[in-house]
Amino acid sequence: MRRLVKPLIGVLGVLPLVWLTFAVLTGRTSANPAEDIILTTGIWSLRFLLASLAITPLRRLTGWNVLIQYRRMLGLFAFFYACVHLAGYLAFDRFFAFDEVFADLAKRPFITAGMVAFALMVPLAITSTRGWIRSLGRRWQLLHRLVYVSAIAAVIHYLWKVKADSTLPLRYALLLAVLLGLRLWWLRRRLPRPAAAAPAR
């Protein structure tokens, strides 16, 4: 039974993409399919990122250690959707005009924040294999704390993108604040007893 969980997450994880492809191919998108693709992949990247960040707190709260097995998959889905999102922006919005892309990166804080979020995900995706985890040892933990910065940058990217109503991005910001806040709180409680520092993030 437990063996089925990973493939199930895999199938569910590609569903947004399948659904998008289906919608584009059959003309079921809005009149602006490029926007549908960029927004849908952006939001799913963020959702998977937050889901991966929820594993550790959930595990601590529930004691279900098995959850840790699914964290890498969630993180990789976040990276995957970020790649499609970025490719969509480069191809559809900027039509591969890289001079415009660099101008965007330099001039538009909203794009810069997205790029920071993305750039930080790259080393994490690369070092997510068993081999890298083993060879990096304790440094792997340190490196992968970058995910906090990536998630903060992603939420800022979303907040800055919005034109008028920040309700939705603020909800994501709140969720991220809870996920990171829990960690800080646990960290503080642990501080007086540094010897007991457990490696769980």
Partner 1 sequence: MLIRRASDIRSSDVTDERTYLQRRDLIRLAGGIACATAVGTLVPGCSEHPAAESLAPAAPAAAAQATLENVRPAVVSTDEKQNTFEEITSYNNFYEFGLGKNDPQRYAGAMRTSPWSVKIDGLCNKPANYQLEDLVRPHALEERIYRLRCVEAWSMVIPWVGIPLSAVLSRAEPQGKAAFVEFTTLHRPSEMRGQSGTALEWPYREGLRLDEAMHPLTILAVGLYGRTLMNQNGAPLRLVVPWKYGFKSIKSIVRIRFVERQPATSWSMSNPAEYGFYSNVNPEVDHPRWSQSREKRLPALFASTRTRMFNGYDEVASLYAGMDLRKHY
Q: Which residues bind ligand HEM (CB under 6 A)?
A: 35, 38-39, 42-43, 45-46, 49, 82, 85-86, 89, 93, 111, 114-115, 117-118, 154, 157-158, 161
Among 22, 64, 102, 185, binds partner 1 (CB under 8 A): 22
The least distance separating ligand HEM from the CB of residue 193, rounded to whole angstroms, comes to 35
Q: Which helix (H) or strand (E) holds 14?
A: helix 5-25
Identify residues 69-108 at the interface with partner 1 (CB under 8 A). Answer: 91-95, 97, 100, 103-104, 107-108
The least distance separating ligand HEM from the CB of residue 82, rounded to whole angstroms, comes to 4
Q: Nearer Cβ to partner 1, position 30 or 135?
A: 30
- Nearest 5 degrees, angle CA 144-CA 113-CA 78? 45
Among 59, 161, 183, 201, binds partner 1 (CB under 8 A): 161
Tokens, residue 10: 């895999």
Residue 33 binds which of partner 1, ligand HEM, none (CB < 5-8 A, kind-dependent): partner 1
97-112 residues labelled b (16+ CB within 10 A) or e (exposed): eeeebeebeeeeeebb
- Nearest 5 degrees, angle CA 144-CA 119-CA 24? 115
Q: Tell whether residue 132 is a contact of partner 1 (CB under 8 A).
A: no
CB 74 within 8 A of CB 66: no
Q: How many residues bind partner 1 (CB under 8 A)?
A: 51
Q: Nearer Cβ to ligand HEM, position 5 or 101?
A: 101
Residues 6+ apart with CB under 8 A from 37: 20, 24, 84, 88, 92
The least distance separating ligand HEM from the CB of residue 189, rounded to whole angstroms, comes to 30
* Backbone φ, ψ for residue 43 (5° rounding): -70, -35
Give CA separation, 104 vs 18, 56, 83, 98, 198, in Å.
30, 36, 18, 9, 43
Q: Which of 38, 120, 112 is nearest to 75 (CA)?
A: 120
Give the interface with partner 1 as residue ranges (CB under 8 A): 9, 12-13, 15-16, 19-20, 22-23, 28-36, 39-40, 42-43, 47-48, 50-51, 54, 58, 91-95, 97, 100, 103-104, 107-108, 110-111, 160-161, 163-165, 168, 171-172, 174-175
